Amino acid sequence: MRMMHNFCHIGGVVADLPHGWIDKCLDFCDYFLTGVVEYQKLIMRNPIFLEQVEE
């Protein structure tokens, strides 16, 4: 129960996202997407990760 009972209200939440949030989010997406191939290589070659996710 990480969200407090007064966080959600009828019609939305207590506060809207801060100004500039969308631009920061898009900047992060651009940054993250440039490294996806590298991240995938790191994960798929990690025996500990692979052992934990195998069925």
Q: What are 1's two structure tokens?
A: 């129960």
Residue 20's pLDDT is 94
Residue 34's pLDDT is 92
Residue 12's pLDDT is 67
Positions in the chain short of pLDDT 70: 1-9, 11-14, 55
Contact 48, 54 (CB under 8 A): no
Contact 14, 7 (CB under 8 A): yes
Residue ranges per structural domain of the chain: 18-53
d(CA 15, CA 8): 9
